[in-house]
Structure 1
Amino acid sequence: MFTGIVQSKRKVVKVELSPGFMQLWVDLKDTEGLKIGASVAVNGTCLTVVNISKQGVQFDLIQETLSLTNLGTIKEGDLVNIERAAKVGDEIGGHLVSGHIHSTAEILELQLTENNLGIHLSLDKAWKEYVIYKGFISIDGASLTVGKLSEQGFWLHIIPETLRVTTLGDKQVGDLLNIEIDSATQTAIDTIKKLAENGELKRWLG
C-alpha cells in the first residue's frame, strides 16, 4: 500500500527487454531496510524487488504490467517517480493507493503559468465515470486532485513542489501517464449503479 506522496525521482540505469517481459534496474538513492520481495511504486506501479546490487534495484515486469502502464516505454537514463511502501503509523499525506494501474492517459495540452502547470489528459471512456471534480486520482504515482472535467478527460493543476519532486514537469504533449482511480470513489459509484439497476436506489435513499 502507498500514499501517493512521491519521495523522489530516480534514474533508470538499465533496461533489458524480451518478448512479453522486461527487467528494469533503478538507481534508488535510499535502500535502507529494503529487502528482496519488498514492494516499490515505480511511476505509481507496484513492483517487487527481485535483486539489490551496486548496479541498482532490479524489478521484473510481465506483459500485463507492460500492457497497462507506461513502463514499457522506459529507456535507460529516464527518470521515474519512486515511493517506498507505507509503514503502519506513517502519515498519509495523499490518499491510499494500491499501485495497481487501471489505464494510461495521454497528455493533450499543457498550460504553464507562473505558479502551476495545467495538464489536460484524455481518458478511456470506461474510467471517466470514476473521475470526479475535486476527487482523488493517482498520476504516475502522485496523489493529485482532479480539476475541471472535459469531454476528452480532465485537467490537473500541479504546484511547484510537485513539479520539483516528480517527473510531471518534464512531460510533453503526447506522453502517457499511469492512472490509478481512487478505490473509494469507484466503490461508491459502482454501488449506486448496482442499486439503480436493481430498482433499489429510491428505497435505499429513503
Structure 2
Amino acid sequence: MFTGIVEELGEVVRLTEGAGDSALLAVRGPLVTSDARHGDSISVNGVCLTVIDNDGGVFTADVMGETLRRSSLGALRPGSPVNLERAATVGSRLGGHLVQGHVDGVATIVAREPADDWEVLRFSLPSGLGRYVVEKGSITVDGVSLTVMAVSADTFEVGLIPTTLKLTVLGSKGVGDPVNLEVDVIAKYVEKMLGDRHVG
C-alpha cells in the first residue's frame, strides 16, 4: 500500500527483456534503496514492484508481461526519470490517499496550461474508468496522488503545484506522453457491493 506522495525522482538504469514476455527493470534511487530489502515493495510510476536485488543505490525488479501490457513501464528506457515511493508502514502519515500500485489504465497528456505558479494538466480518460473519476475526488497519475479539478466524458484535469512540477516526472512530460492511472479503489468496491446487492 502506498500514499501517492513521491519520495524520490529516480532513473532507469536498464530494462532487459526476460524469458517470454517478462522484463527485468533496474532503477537508481538512493533514498528508496537506503533500507530496501529483498521482497520489499517500491512504486515505480505508480506500479507496485517487488525488489529482488539492491546494490549501490540501484534496485532490480521483475516485471511480468501483464504489467508491461497494462502500464507504461515497457516504454521506459535507460535514463528515463521515474517517480519512486516506498510502501507505507503502519503508523506512517497518509499524506495522499490509499494507493495500491495496481494500474487501471494508461492515459495520455492532452494539454498543459500554465498558470501563475502552477499548471493545469488535462489527460485522456480510458474507456470504462470514467465512472470512478469525480470532481474533487482522488486519482493517482504515475504514482502521484492528485485531486481531480474537472472531468468530462473522456478527459479529466488536475492542477500541479510547483513542488509536484519540480519533484515528479509530471513536470517534464509533454502532450502525448503516456501516464499510468489508478482510480480510487474504494469506488470500485462500492460499485461491486451495490451491484451484488441489486442482483436477485
Q: What's the TM-score bracket when you normalise by the shorter of the two chains? A: over 0.9
So what's the TM-score if we normalise by structure 1?
Answer: 0.90
RMSD: 1.6
Q: For 1:145-177, what per-residue CA distance to the aligned partner results, in whole angstroms no more than 9, with x for missing partners?
A: 011112322111111111121110111111111
Distance 2:121 2:194 in 1: 30
Unaligned runs of 5+ in 1: 200-206
Q: 1:118·1:155 contact (CA, 8 Å) conserved in 2?
A: yes
Distance 1:190 1:158 in 2: 32
Distance 1:55 1:89 in 2: 26
Secondary structure, counterpart of 1:83 in structure 2: strand
Aligned to 2:17: 17
- The alpha-carbon deviation at position 60 of structure 1 amounts to 1.0
Is residue 2:96 matched to residue 1:94?
yes
- The alpha-carbon deviation at position 13 of structure 1 amounts to 1.3
Q: 1:130·1:189 contact (CA, 8 Å) conserved in 2?
A: no
- The alpha-carbon deviation at position 139 of structure 1 amounts to 0.6
The change in CA–CA distance for 1:100 and 1:14 in structure 2 (over 3 A counts) is same
Aligned to 1:137: 139
Which consecutive aligned stretches of 4+ in structure 1 deviate over 4 angstroms post-superposition?
none
Distance 1:135 1:88 in 2: 24
Aligned to 1:74: 76
Secondary structure, counterpart of 1:32 in structure 2: coil
Distance 1:33 1:109 in 2: 38
So what's the TM-score if we normalise by structure 2?
Answer: 0.93
- The alpha-carbon deviation at position 75 of structure 1 amounts to 0.3
Amino acid at match of 1:126: G
Is residue 2:37 matched to residue 1:8?
no
Secondary structure, counterpart of 2:180 in structure 1: strand
Work out which of the two has the higher radius of gyration on C-alpha atoms and give 1 or 2: 1
**How many residue pairs are counted as aligned between the two chains?**
198
Percent identity of paired positions between Structure 1 and Structure 2: 37
- The alpha-carbon deviation at position 69 of structure 1 amounts to 0.5
Unaligned runs of 5+ in 2: none
Distance 2:112 2:151 in 1: 15
